[in-house]
Protein backbone atom coordinates (compact mmCIF):
# COMPACT_ATOMS: atom_id res chain seq x y z
CA UNK A 1 0.00 0.00 0.00
CA UNK A 2 2.96 2.33 0.52
CA UNK A 3 3.52 4.08 -2.81
CA UNK A 4 7.23 4.45 -1.98
CA UNK A 5 7.44 0.70 -2.72
CA UNK A 6 5.87 1.01 -6.19
CA UNK A 7 6.04 -0.37 -8.79
CA UNK A 8 5.16 -3.83 -7.52
CA UNK A 9 5.59 -7.05 -9.48
CA UNK A 10 3.06 -9.78 -8.71
CA UNK A 11 3.20 -13.06 -10.59
CA UNK A 12 2.48 -16.77 -10.40
CA UNK A 13 2.95 -19.71 -12.74
CA UNK A 14 0.45 -18.56 -15.36
CA UNK A 15 -0.39 -15.01 -14.25
CA UNK A 16 -4.15 -15.21 -14.57
CA UNK A 17 -6.11 -16.59 -11.62
CA UNK A 18 -4.00 -16.29 -8.47
CA UNK A 19 -2.36 -13.11 -9.68
CA UNK A 20 -5.72 -11.72 -10.78
CA UNK A 21 -7.26 -12.42 -7.38
CA UNK A 22 -4.37 -10.80 -5.51
CA UNK A 23 -4.44 -7.75 -7.77
CA UNK A 24 -8.25 -7.55 -7.49
CA UNK A 25 -8.03 -7.57 -3.69
CA UNK A 26 -5.24 -4.98 -3.84
CA UNK A 27 -7.42 -2.78 -6.04
CA UNK A 28 -10.20 -3.00 -3.46
CA UNK A 29 -7.67 -1.87 -0.84
CA UNK A 30 -6.96 1.10 -3.13
CA UNK A 31 -10.69 1.94 -3.08
CA UNK A 32 -11.35 1.07 -6.72
CA UNK A 33 -15.01 0.56 -7.53
CA UNK A 34 -15.91 -3.11 -7.92
CA UNK A 35 -16.88 -2.76 -11.60
CA UNK A 36 -13.40 -1.38 -12.42
CA UNK A 37 -11.76 -4.21 -10.46
CA UNK A 38 -13.81 -6.78 -12.39
CA UNK A 39 -13.09 -5.08 -15.72
CA UNK A 40 -9.33 -5.16 -15.11
CA UNK A 41 -9.46 -8.81 -13.99
CA UNK A 42 -11.45 -9.85 -17.07
CA UNK A 43 -9.20 -7.86 -19.43
CA UNK A 44 -6.09 -9.75 -18.30
CA UNK A 45 -7.69 -13.16 -17.62
CA UNK A 46 -9.39 -13.13 -21.00
CA UNK A 47 -11.20 -16.35 -21.89
CA UNK A 48 -9.83 -17.96 -18.71
CA UNK A 49 -11.86 -15.64 -16.47
CA UNK A 50 -13.60 -17.50 -13.63
CA UNK A 51 -16.76 -16.45 -11.85
CA UNK A 52 -15.39 -18.02 -8.64
CA UNK A 53 -12.45 -15.60 -8.80
CA UNK A 54 -14.81 -12.66 -9.20
CA UNK A 55 -16.88 -13.90 -6.25
CA UNK A 56 -13.73 -14.23 -4.13
CA UNK A 57 -12.68 -10.67 -4.98
CA UNK A 58 -16.18 -9.36 -4.26
CA UNK A 59 -16.37 -11.12 -0.88
CA UNK A 60 -12.81 -10.20 0.16
CA UNK A 61 -13.04 -8.20 3.41
CA UNK A 62 -10.70 -5.23 3.18
CA UNK A 63 -11.79 -3.75 6.52
CA UNK A 64 -10.29 -6.55 8.62
CA UNK A 65 -7.14 -6.66 6.51
CA UNK A 66 -6.67 -2.91 6.77
CA UNK A 67 -7.07 -3.00 10.56
CA UNK A 68 -4.59 -5.86 10.73
CA UNK A 69 -2.04 -4.02 8.60
CA UNK A 70 -2.33 -0.79 10.52
CA UNK A 71 -2.18 -2.39 13.96
CA UNK A 72 0.54 -4.98 13.35
CA UNK A 73 2.93 -3.86 10.62
CA UNK A 74 3.31 -0.10 11.03
CA UNK A 75 3.74 1.61 14.37
CA UNK A 76 5.15 5.02 15.11
CA UNK A 77 8.28 5.19 17.23
CA UNK A 78 8.19 8.06 19.70
CA UNK A 79 8.05 11.60 18.43
CA UNK A 80 10.22 10.98 15.36
CA UNK A 81 7.22 9.85 13.26
CA UNK A 82 9.43 7.36 11.42
CA UNK A 83 7.62 4.21 10.38
CA UNK A 84 9.38 0.92 10.91
CA UNK A 85 8.55 -2.74 11.34
CA UNK A 86 8.00 -3.72 14.98
CA UNK A 87 8.70 -7.25 16.11
CA UNK A 88 6.58 -9.19 18.58
CA UNK A 89 7.62 -8.34 22.14
CA UNK A 90 9.55 -5.22 21.08
CA UNK A 91 8.60 -2.01 22.80
CA UNK A 92 9.15 1.60 21.89
CA UNK A 93 10.61 4.08 24.33
CA UNK A 94 8.52 7.17 24.67
CA UNK A 95 10.29 10.49 25.20
CA UNK A 96 10.01 11.88 28.74
CA UNK A 97 7.12 14.23 29.36
CA UNK A 98 8.01 17.86 29.83
CA UNK A 99 6.21 19.63 32.61
CA UNK A 100 6.09 23.34 33.23
CA UNK A 101 6.05 24.92 36.68
pLDDT digits (tens, 9 = 90+) for 40-89: 999 988 888 899 999 999 999 888 777 776 666 655 444 445 555 555 55
CATH no., domain 3-67: 3.90.190.10
CA-closest candidate to residue 50, choices 27, 87, 11, 18: 18
In the chain, where the domains are located: 3-67
CA-closest candidate to residue 55, choices 15, 21, 16: 21
Annotation marks residue 68 as catalytic: no
Query: Pick the residue with more confidence: 59 or 101?
Result: 59
8 A C-beta contact, residue 41 and residue 54: yes
DSSP 8-state class, residue 81: -
Is pTM, for the whole model, over 0.85?
no
Which position among 12, 21, 25, 33 bears the catalytic label?
12
Residue 100: strand, helix, or coil:
coil
Amino acid sequence: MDVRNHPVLIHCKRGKHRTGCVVGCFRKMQNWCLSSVFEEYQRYAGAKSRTTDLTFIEMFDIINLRQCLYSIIYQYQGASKKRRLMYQGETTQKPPRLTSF
